[in-house]
Amino acid sequence: MANQWQGVLREWADVLDVTDASTVVTLGEGGTPLIESRALSSMTDARVLVKFEGLNPTGSFKDRGMTVAVSRAIERGAKAIACASTGNTSAAAAAYAAAAGIQAIVLVPEGRISMGKLAQSVVHGARIVQIRGNFDDCLDISKELAEQYPVHLVNSVNDDRIEGQKTAALEIIDVLGDAPDMHIMPVGNAGNITSYWRGFSQAETAGTATRRPRMIGFQAAGAAPIVRGEIVRDPDTVATAIRIGNPASWQQALAARDESGGYIGAIDDAGILRAQRLLASSTGVFVEPASAISVAGLLERHAAGEIPAGSTVTLTVTGHGLKDAAWGLRLEDGSDATPESADADTAQVAQMLGLA
Ligand SMILES: *Cc1c(COP(=O)(O)O)cnc(C)c1O
């Protein structure tokens, strides 16, 4: 195993404080590729690179934080972990709990998570409760469970998760040799933008980067409390992973924006789905709708004249498209994509393809 990537706790041991190596719970998360997108670069006159976090073990960046949170929980003797989730946190919690041999309890808003994500929690053996309420209700209940019963909370308010997630920013610096000029990412509960800002800031202080990027965040238009400056009571968007009306790390997101001279904006659902298709068809990277907002955001900033020519722009695409593959089969006009049929006849197929 010497040459295999060892997961973020071991690979980034110098910046994460690992107290006891014997309790590390890992599935080899992190070390995801930073992919240069020629198509997006030429559309924006910039150098655009995509950090594909869908390639983590459970298909989202949540694994980076979960390895730290679950390892700590084990260190403290926990027999169960609990979280509220829009889907990806529960998938990660379920997988890492399974790896650790403890119980995961996940609370999800009823009818509001993708089937792919729910399937992950089920197959990993989590106890799943669909709450008739929104994400915030799930969060309140999981906090109360942790206060009143012997379970360890692994929600995004858990600082171990913020710590683990900062390693993605460090990997970007590692590959580029310095921080990018600008970093663009989705914002839901705002834990991840908090993590990246912490990672970029610590790298500058440590001298592994000479600068920090402008931090650019995007929320879905139907779930944009930070942009609107007020809690959204009934957030609504196809981007379920960022359907959050009252972000847990709201203040930290504002700090990342303001300290970096950044920006937080909103994109409507049609723009999100167009960007999902564009990234998949132009760059070969299939992401879930919440992740595609980074691409939509890049185009929005370019249209606003806010991307200086020649600058280096990194985008985090947070989760894999296969989580909710149904979006891939829906065409822009709302109809379903049905492949054409042909007889088992080469000449007919060639003609249909315009080859003959
Ligand atoms: C969790 C998640 C987000 C939002 O991250 P926050 O830390 O809540 O801002 C975005 N995209 C995907 C795929 C996620 O799983």
Any idea what DSSP says for residue 89?
Answer: H
Q: Is 288 in the pocket of ligand 1 (CB under 6 A)?
A: yes
Say whether pTM exceeds 0.85. Answer: yes
pLDDT for the residue 19: 66
**Confidence category of residue 356, pLDDT binned at 50, 70, 90:** confident
With 90 as the cut, is the pLDDT of residue 344 above it?
yes
Strand (E) or helix (H) holding 254? helix 250-260
The predicted model gives 78-90 an average pLDDT of 91
With 90 as the cut, is the pLDDT of residue 213 above it?
yes
Alpha-carbon dihedral 121, 127, 131, 135, rounded to 10 degrees: -50
Q: What are phi and psi of 157, to 5 degrees?
A: -75, -10
C-alpha Rg value of the chain to the nearest Å: 20
**Confidence category of residue 249, pLDDT binned at 50, 70, 90:** very high
300-311: b or e for each residue (b if 16 or more CB lie within 10 Å)?
Answer: bbbeeeebeeeb
The string of pLDDT tens digits covering residues 262-274 is 999 999 999 999 9
Minimum-distance ligand 1 atom for the alpha carbon of 53:
13
Would strands 34-36 and 47-52 be described as parallel, antiparallel, or unpaired? antiparallel
Q: Is 219 in the pocket of ligand 1 (CB under 6 A)?
A: no
Q: Is 73 in the pocket of ligand 1 (CB under 6 A)?
A: no
Q: What residues does 46 pair with on adjacent strands?
A: none
Residue 356 CA to ligand 1 centre (angstroms)? 47
The string of pLDDT tens digits covering residues 198-211 is 999 999 999 999 99
Q: Is 156 in the pocket of ligand 1 (CB under 6 A)?
A: yes
The predicted model gives 275-283 an average pLDDT of 97
Show the beta-strand stretches assigned E in the chain: 34-36, 47-52, 80-84, 103-109, 127-131, 152-153, 182-186, 214-220, 263-267, 312-317
What are the structure tokens assigned to 77, written together? Answer: 């003797």
Q: What residues does 264 pair with on adjacent strands?
A: 217
Which residue shows structure tokens 């910039």?
A: 46
For atom 15 of ligand 1, which residue has the closest CA? Answer: 88
The predicted model gives 335-340 an average pLDDT of 81
Minimum-distance ligand 1 atom for the alpha carbon of 87:
15
For the chain, what is the mean pLDDT?
94
What are the structure tokens assigned to 345, written together? Answer: 């006849």
With 80 as the cut, is the pLDDT of residue 86 above it?
no
Would strands 80-84 and 103-109 be described as parallel, antiparallel, or unpaired? parallel
With 70 as the cut, is the pLDDT of residue 316 above it?
yes
Q: What are phi and psi of 27, to 5 degrees?
A: -120, 20
Any idea what DSSP says for residue 273?
Answer: H
Instruction: Give the residue from 48, 52, 49 showing the smallest Cα distance to 33.
Output: 52
The string of pLDDT tens digits covering residues 157-192 is 789 999 999 999 999 999 999 999 999 999 999 999
Report the C-alpha gap between 162 and 165 in whole angstroms: 5
For atom 5 of ligand 1, which residue has the closest CA? Answer: 188
**Cα angle for residues 283, 224, 165 (degrees, 5° grid):** 60
Q: What residues does 268 pair with on adjacent strands?
A: none
The predicted model gives 229-253 an average pLDDT of 94
Residue 81 CA to ligand 1 centre (angstroms)? 20
What are the structure tokens assigned to 253, written together? Answer: 């997101």
Residue type at 346? T
Which residue shows structure tokens 């709990």?
A: 97
Residue 246 CA to ligand 1 centre (angstroms)? 14
**Confidence category of residue 331, pLDDT binned at 50, 70, 90:** confident
pLDDT for the residue 17: 77
Residue 312 CA to ligand 1 centre (angstroms)? 23
Report the C-alpha gap between 202 and 204 in whole angstroms: 5
Q: What is the largest CA-CA distance in the chain?
A: 72
**Confidence category of residue 326, pLDDT binned at 50, 70, 90:** confident
pLDDT for the residue 2: 65
Taking a C-beta distance cutoff of 8 angstroms, is the pair 265, 253 a contact? no
Q: Is 120 in the pocket of ligand 1 (CB under 6 A)?
A: no
Q: Is 189 in the pocket of ligand 1 (CB under 6 A)?
A: yes
Minimum-distance ligand 1 atom for the alpha carbon of 186:
10
Residue 342 CA to ligand 1 centre (angstroms)? 42
Q: How many CB atoms lie within 10 A of CB 116?
A: 20
Minimum-distance ligand 1 atom for the alpha carbon of 319:
13
Residue 268 CA to ligand 1 centre (angstroms)? 17
The string of pLDDT tens digits covering residues 106-146 is 998 887 777 888 899 999 999 999 999 888 889 899 999 99
Size (the chain), residues:
356
Taking a C-beta distance cutoff of 8 angstroms, is the pair 111, 220 a contact? no
pLDDT for the residue 47: 98
